[in-house]
Amino acid sequence: MNNNFKNNKNFSKVSNIIESLTINPNPDSIQVLEEIGTNSSIDEVRELTSRALVKRNEHDSLSVVIANRGKGINDMSTVVAMSTINELLSLENKEEAMRVLENTISSEGFDEEVKENARSVKALMALS
Amino acid sequence: MTAIEKINQLSHRIFNTSVTEQSVARTSNPFAASNFQKNILTEDVFESSDKKKNDNVNFTGNLTASSKRIYSTFVGSINDFGNRFYEGLETIKQFGMRMKDHVVNAWNKIHELGNKEVTLDGAKEVLSRDFTSFFVNHNQREISKMSKMDPHGEVKPMLVDALSALEADMAMAA
């Protein structure tokens, strides 16, 4: 994330809103993050959103970044994908994330690419 | 006519301007003094300065009543702005003076109490730390406030607006 972006007033505003949705106890926050943040055309915003969803560490929020094509660990941007994986690896409690990863790998309803990514991340998490 | 007589006539034409000088006084034409082979310029081809004096300068002559109202409102707003501007400056000045007095009083008090360990560098460090924490706390307060809002009804429109503004900034920068 470059410094010009960080100094942008509107980016700070977006960042604050995303952060507020990270700690908002209302589960609807996940829908807002998924609908608006992960579909943003700006890589930095998608990165922030994915990390926020991981930080929430809930089944639904983790499913968005693990089991969705083009989102979180499956994002087209390597920076966004790597950042999401880093956030998953730094989770203190990885139980829910492991569960979601296993579900994704074993379920029939997902793309092979999504399953492959989930398998790689699960291996990394098991090692960390 | 002899040559001498001709020369006399010529010198009379060149140097004798007394006839025209009397008429010059009545005109504003600076060239009226010239004698073009005794053909005096009787017409004042320049616009008379006397005429100008009589013309009243009228800035509002061609303005309609509504235009006058608009201009007067505009001028009024400028005057008003000036007042407010100076009032604002006065307030800032007073605030600055008050702040300075408070800081100086506090500083003197500390030294009166015998605390010689307080240095200017230390004070600067404390002040800069406090200002930084002020902005950080402001951000945290804002985040905390928004985290209590309804995600769909309140936060979502805010996020959409902020993202649109950010995208516009990016488009301008590109």
Q: How far apart are CA B139 and CA B60, in angstroms?
A: 54
Look at residue B25 and tell me whether its pLDDT is greater than 60. no
* Contact residues, A window 4-43, toward B, CB-based 8 Å cutoff: 4, 8, 10-14, 16-21, 23-26, 28-29, 31-32, 35-37, 40-42
Q: Which of B142, B147, B169 sits opposite A8 (nearest CB)?
A: B169
Q: Domain residues of chain A, as ranges?
A: 3-127
- Tell me the average pLDDT across B73-92: 60
Q: Which of A112, A120, A116, A49 shows the shortest CA–CA distance to A89?
A: A120
Give the model's pLDDT for residue A84.
Answer: 96
Could you identify the residue written with the tokens 């291996």? A123
Q: How far apart are CA A4 and CA A89, in angstroms?
A: 28
Q: How far apart are CA A36 and CA A17, in angstroms?
A: 11
What number is the ipTM of this complex? 0.91
Look at residue B60 and tell me whether its pLDDT is greater than 60. no
Q: Which of A4, A36, A42 sits opposite B167 (nearest CB)?
A: A42
Give the model's pLDDT for residue B24.
Answer: 47
Give the model's pLDDT for residue B158.
Answer: 96
- Distance from CA of residue B26 to its chain's centroid? 44
Computed over its alpha carbons, how large is the radius of gyration of chain B?
41
Give the model's pLDDT for residue B40.
Answer: 53
Give the model's pLDDT for residue B1.
Answer: 59
Residue A8 DSSP SS3: coil
Q: Is residue B100 part of a domain?
A: no
Residues of A in contact with B135 (CB under 8 A): none
Residues spanned by the domain of B18: 3-54
- Distance from CA of residue A25 to its chain's centroid? 18
Q: Is residue B41 part of a domain?
A: yes
Residues of B in contact with A4 (CB under 8 A): 173
Q: Return the ∠ at Cα B155 (arms to B153 and B161), rounded to 5°.
A: 105
Q: How far apart are CA A98 and CA A106, in angstroms?
A: 12
pTM of the model: 0.57
How is residue A75 written in tokens?
Answer: 């994002």
Q: Evaluate whether A54 touches A38 at the Cβ level (below 8 Å).
A: no
Structural domains of chain B, count: 1
- Distance from CA of residue B92 to its chain's centroid? 21
In a structure prediction context, what are the per-residue pLDDT tens digits for chain A, which is 128 residues long?
Answer: 566 677 889 999 999 999 999 999 999 999 999 999 999 999 999 999 999 999 999 999 999 999 999 999 999 999 999 999 999 999 999 999 999 999 999 998 888 999 999 999 999 999 88
Q: Is residue B44 part of a domain?
A: yes
Give the model's pLDDT for residue A83.
Answer: 96
Q: Evaluate whether B79 touches B67 at the Cβ level (below 8 Å).
A: no
Q: Which of A82, A3, A5 shows the shortest CA–CA distance to A42?
A: A5
The burial of B17, by beta-carbon neighbours within 10 Å (0-12 exposed, 13-18 middle, 19 or more buried), is given as middle
Band of pLDDT at residue B171, cut at 50, 70 and 90: confident
Q: Is residue B160 part of a domain?
A: no
pLDDT digits (tens, 9 = 90+) for B107-130: 777 667 666 555 666 666 666 666
Residue A58 touches partner B, C-beta closer than 8 Å = no
